[in-house]
Structure 1
Amino acid sequence: MKLKLILSCLLLTTSLIAFSQEKQPGKSKEHNTDITEKGLIKISIMYPYAEGKTFNMEYYETKHMPMVAGFLGSNLVKYTIEKGLSSGIPNQPLPFMAIGTFYVKSLSEYQAAIAPNRDAIRADFVNYTNAMPVILVSEVVK
């Protein structure tokens, strides 16, 4: 019990240190672009980890995400790709293998751009994963 408490405190402390060392909160270090502008629409495509599921990050990064980004045109503000490393709770399974995120100005423009390309996007899944993604559409509030 004491070991779990110590590990939890260590994880929390490490997280707080990492956040406090950010020089420009809400800024992308790569492009120095504010991605937390209130009102942006965030589309998160999350690939759950499960036994037997696979994910080809190189293909996703170099082929799939640029393809989808191309469909979004000037509505796209930025996209990010995250590789899952571990659960936030020690000794718990990884919740997601990867998460792709698009930040767009307009949800209706996003939907209009994706609709005619949905079949091509889905057909490309087999090239990088055998997992079914979970998609969350949200609005950035801060």
Structure 2
Amino acid sequence: MAVFTVLYPAREGAKFDHAYYDAHHIPLVKKAFAETGLTDVQVLTGVSAGDGGPAPFVKIVTLFFRDAEAMQASLTSPQGAELTADVPNFTDIQPIAQISVA
């Protein structure tokens, strides 16, 4: 299994449209990558840090793929580029991406 995680760091004054992200962007992700090996999506909304302070991340999304080849095929597809182009529609935060294995 290959895992692609996108983290949106919290910063003062940042724009993040949670409603758009949840209702529009995530369904696009699921549709775009379903045929190339996406097996699950987990979306987390930051509430607080462990010490009760502000959450370090506004949103964290984890995409689970069948294997590394499926993940690569998805991310480098034309649909992957379309999803990247959709980011300014919901945030001005520069996301952090990480590839992992499980």
User: TM-score range, shorter-chain basis?
Assistant: 0.7 to 0.9
Equivalence map 1:1-142=2 (5 Å) = 40-74=1-35, 75-91=37-53, 93-115=54-76, 116-140=78-102
Tell me the C-alpha RMSD between the 2 structures: 1.4
Aligned residues, how many? Answer: 100
Identity between Structure 1 and Structure 2 (%): 28
Task: Give the structure-1-normalised TM-score.
Answer: 0.65
CA offset digits 1:4-52 (Å, max 9, x no partner): xxxxxxxxxxxxxxxxxxxxxxxxxxxxxxxxxxxx2121110000111
| Bigger strand share | 2
Secondary structure of 2:43's match?
Answer: strand
The question of whether the paired residues in 2 share the 8 Å contact of 1:71 and 1:114 is answered with no
* Structure 1 residue 119, shift from structure 2 partner: 2.9
TM-score, L = length of structure 2: 0.87
Unaligned regions of 5+ residues in structure 2, if any? none
Per-residue deviation at 1:139? 0.9
